[in-house]
Structure 1
Amino acid sequence: MTTLAIRPETAEAENVATELVRAIDLVWQGICRRHPDVPDIMITVGSGTMGAKPGQTTFGHFAAARWQRDGETLPELFVSGEGLRRGAAATLGTLLHEAAHGVAHVRGIKDTSRQGRYHNRKFKDVGTELGLILEEDPKIGWSITTVPPSTAAEYAAELEALAAALVIYRHAEVHAPSKPKSSNLAVAQCACPRKIRVARSTLAEAPITCGQCSEEFVAEDDE
């Protein structure tokens, strides 16, 4: 099942939007055929920069149990409209990345921490299984995603259909200049979410863990 979070005003725009979602769905179904643990999803396409920090873009996310269909829940696959301008291969990388989160969810694997931002080695293992090369980022873990030539060749038919549909992408949100923040105390949040104010030097010395959810407190402006 698929959905698109835009409302085209013309028949031509509607055809472009329909073909885009159809191509994304085609790729996802191809991933499912190759990896049976990848779940069925609802597809949404929208802004990956709205609410984000200037210069940052969310390319995609996988969220379990976001949709209801009769008596069952379905996960959501979000695809950033801004990220589509990177082309078919990078978009395939996003879909395989989110499929890896889906596999981890199905298998009951805890593949992230810090409110889903930090990707641990278990995520790296699943992503590698799905054909990705994953490199480590100091802040968000094993999240830097590359599609190697062997995986691109395996998905050649899906990539061709996706490339034909990528004739549209979303412009990034324009952010107003932000006010300078005081650097004395950081507002840190856990997964509950609970918030504390703490000196940055104290937060840097060692992780501070919430006694309720067992997740680390992370400074909000470091997310």
Structure 2
Amino acid sequence: MRVKTIGPLVDTYVSSTRKEPEIMTDSDTITGLLVSALEGVWAAIRSRHPDVPEVVLTVGSGSIGSDLTLGHFAPNRWVRGEYELHELFIGGEGLQRGAAGVLGTLLHEAAHGVAVTRGIKDTSRQGRWHNERFRVLGEGLGLTLEHHEKIGWSLTTVPDKTRELYRDELEELAFALVAYRRHEPGRRGGRKSNNNGLSAECDCGRKIRVSRSVYEAGSISCWLCGGTFEAEE
């Protein structure tokens, strides 16, 4: 069900039931086909995993300079009457990875949705570090997750078994992926350094600010949980 269109670049929809693939006509739009296919995949995920919540789906720019956001799950960002809805964002730049790559993003964000439904803290460091609890949730949705030293259990791939499970949705998604968004150009000039030191966070949520020289001299341990403070990039 279409809810609202925001500007020329972003269309917003509430997730609905899956639609069968249709033959493209002159009246179809690139955005309409894309969002319908994304909604179909999300609905299929929800049908298999009831703890995946309903969302408002947005599609837009995920790049700022060299940074790229493939997807993002944000709790309670939308209001419908007396109810709050979660937001699912899909970056247009990541669409060039193809149907299987986009399915991986949707399942990754669905795992974050399950964490919200179950009240599980699956990330820290402002959502960048994916902990062991997220790995369990992601694998439960059919993903293969690998560990990265800076972002934890966040490297996502879709194994053949999961691709086969979502074969119909992948076909519809592949049909709809006729365009993707270019990366935003990097900023030129500007200040390169910061004299205010570094902000570092532990997995338990504690934060400290230290000078770069002190941080680079060696690891800083958290005496509360035994973890290590990591600088926020």
Give the structure-1-normalised TM-score: 0.83
Distance 1:196 1:121, change over 3 A: closer
Which amino acid is the alignment partner of residue 47 of structure 1?
Answer: S
Q: If each structure's strand is expressed as a fraction of its own residues, which one has the higher value?
A: 2
Match of 2:93 among 61, 82, 92: 82
Cα distance in 2 between the residues matched to 1:116 and 1:176? 24
Q: Which residue of the partner structure matches residue 106 of structure 1?
A: 117
Which amino acid is the alignment partner of residue 107 of structure 2?
Answer: L
Cα distance in 2 between the residues matched to 1:152 and 1:97? 14
Give the structure-2-normalised TM-score: 0.80
8 A Cα contact 1:152 1:159, kept in partner: yes
Distance 1:167 1:114, change over 3 A: same
Q: Which residue of the partner structure matches residue 33 of structure 1?
A: 47
8 A Cα contact 2:219 2:229, kept in partner: no
8 A Cα contact 1:208 1:217, kept in partner: yes
2:140 matched to 1:119?
A: no
Cα distance in 2 between the residues matched to 1:12 and 1:70? 36
Cα distance in 2 between the residues matched to 1:194 and 1:128? 28
Number of equivalent positions: 211
Structure 1 residue 179: Cα displacement: 4.5
Q: If each structure's helix is expressed as a fraction of its own residues, which one has the higher value?
A: 1
Match of 2:67 among 56, 64, 79: 56
2:170 matched to 1:169?
A: no
Unaligned runs of 5+ in 1: none
2:32 matched to 1:18?
A: yes
Distance 1:116 1:56, change over 3 A: same
2:203 matched to 1:202?
A: no
Pairwise CA RMSD of aligned residues? 3.0
8 A Cα contact 1:62 1:75, kept in partner: yes
For 1:94, what is the secondary structure of its paired residue? helix
User: Comparing 180-189 with 105-114, which one deviates more in the overlay?
Assistant: 180-189
Report Cα offsets for 1:63-85 as digits up to 9, x if no partner.
00000011110000000000001
Structure 1 residue 198: Cα displacement: 2.0
8 A Cα contact 1:5 1:46, kept in partner: no
Q: How does 1:169-188 map to 2 (within 5 A)?
A: 169-179=180-190, 181-182=192-193, 186-188=197-199
Cα distance in 2 between the residues matched to 1:181 and 1:218? 21
